[in-house]
Amino acid sequence: MCAPRAGRMLFPASHTDKEDRMSVDVADSELKTRHRKMWAAGDYPLMVETFLLPLGPRLIDACAITPATRVLDVAAGTGNAAIPAAQRGAVVTASDLTPELLEAGRRRAEAAGLDLDWVEADAEQLPFERESFDVVISSIGVMFAPHHQESADELVRVCRPGGTIGLMSWTPEGMIGALFRTMKPFAPTPPPGAQSPPLWGSEEHLTGLFGGRVDFHTLERDVLEITAFERPQDWGEHFKAYYGPTIAARANAARAGCEVEFDTALDNFCDEWNRGTPEQARFEQEYLLAVGVRG
């Protein structure tokens, strides 16, 4: 029986309160370091270019961003939403935990003749003044910060009253939610308090995080259709090569001698979610678009 998730306990049971807090701080720092390394692995910028580009402009349209609007893109990655916002004439700051993604985004922006601020930042501890942005957005980004409530609180803090918060997140019931369930038996055990990323695509979870501080006038589910792959399994091979969470889960499986089981599970997953034919795959990745006004 393959059991790759077994590992050391992060928090011993016999600490004092001060020692407990220190242990939590150390574990959180280690977690963020692993996250940076995970998203720097593979080639996420290539994934964006392959099939994610339509999402950013959709979010910018939904937020009705206009020239001179002060926009913060949280967990911006390579600027999939930040760059279209800048193209509308907005004053844009793109923040992300992973400097390699910011550098790729900076190159994209320069090639397009756009001037954005690129800031390395943790979504759970944003280095910006309260109420300093008109619009705060995140396209398939902030959902991957492990502590959801801390991230939601930060989005609210940096957005001015009456400003807009716009989010795009994969749903728990959709294809990426199912991918995380498929990978879970092979992935490292998450630390206490870390929550599953696709929960951000649940209307109930999202409204609970913001607790009435944001009036969501738009909560719409839609799908990103993907036809970039010939065979269904090509989708899985692409994710194993370029997508940080999949790379990390497979590496953990390999350490336990379970890589064959992982590959089989991913191949079966691709067959299950293929909406095309064996010769021309087509996938539908469901996401939740959420746009609201900060009270």
Q: Is residue 290 part of a domain?
A: yes
Q: Is residue 48 part of a domain?
A: yes
Integer Cα distance of 2 and 219 in angstroms = 40
Higher pLDDT, 40 or 215: 215
Q: Is residue 107 part of a domain?
A: yes
Q: Is residue 9 part of a domain?
A: no
Look at residue 1 in the predicted model and tell me its pLDDT. 46
Integer Cα distance of 288 and 222 in angstroms = 7
Burial per residue of 47-78, b for 16 or more beta-carbon CB atoms within 10 angstroms, e otherwise:
bbeebbeebbbbbbebbebeeebbbbbbbbbb
Look at residue 189 in the predicted model and tell me its pLDDT. 87
pLDDT tens-digit series, residues 217-267: 999 999 999 999 999 999 999 999 999 999 999 999 999 999 999 999 999
pLDDT tens-digit series, residues 103-126: 999 999 999 999 999 999 999 999
Number of domain units in the chain: 1
Q: Is residue 237 part of a domain?
A: no
Q: What percent of the chain has pLDDT over 90?
A: 83
Structural domain span for residue 43: 26-179+194-225+286-294
CB 242 within 8 A of CB 43: yes
Average pLDDT over residues 81-91: 98
Q: Is residue 187 part of a domain?
A: no
pLDDT at 284 over 70: yes
Q: Is residue 12 part of a domain?
A: no
pLDDT tens-digit series, residues 34-74: 888 888 888 999 999 999 999 999 999 999 999 999 999 99
CATH assignment of the domain containing 148: 3.40.50.150
pLDDT at 216 over 80: yes
Q: Is residue 204 part of a domain?
A: yes
pTM of the model: 0.90
